[in-house]
Structure 1
Amino acid sequence: MILRVWDVTLTVSDLERAVDFYERVLGLSKKYQFSDYAGFDCGGVEIGLQPGTPPETQEGAPCLDLLVRDVDEVYRALSEQGVRFLKEPHDTPWGGRIALLTDPDGNRLQLVQIDWRKYFTACAS
């Protein structure tokens, strides 16, 4: 059966532009790149980028959550680099502080900071 998530692959319209965003702007480490794919390490899970026609973003579209230590700090740093946010940092009832952004192709990425004490309390109730 399933052991763990190995890879999440996103469709991008311009591979070089997307590689620049994930490597330079988000600071992910590129593992390798071919003409039709680039792979980045994200805490042991690969984020893959594959050229194609990205689907139109719609409400309820898939979202890739990225765990960070300080959502507000990362929000400020990415905003200064021109990253487009759909939702500014805000608290959740389950102990998270989150901010929603998109990559250059509209793929949804969410910065997540977790107060583990609040999270486990919310899960237990």
Structure 2
Amino acid sequence: MLNKVCVLTIKVRDLKESLEFYTNVLDFKVSKQYGEKIVSLVHNEVPIVLEEVETVGVGRNQVLLGILSEDIEKDFRQLKDKGVKVIFDEPMPCPPGRYFIIEDPNGNQLEIVEFSNMN
């Protein structure tokens, strides 16, 4: 079932500036750095990830809700079969495993994530 939120991604224009805000103003701590453009913050409940992207603004989610998948291939097929708009042709790799993005009826994007690279 796809009914468990597993990550919250915040799209930012400038990762360095955003880290300054989230760590020095809001007192979050960095949990893990995934390359130059993705940082995970320490959070007791749902992980919060800052991701630097080139375009932030109107028509794009700035906050992306991640929903946990236990079987990414099965969920991918089932959602396509139900007529859900799937953004990718197949699940894609990401630092913690694999993911794909769907859109709700209002155009909001939701990330479906399977954690398979977590050791």
TM-score, normalised via structure 1 length: 0.46
**Higher relative helix content:** 1
TM-score, normalised via structure 2 length: 0.48
Q: Which has the larger radius of gyration?
A: 1
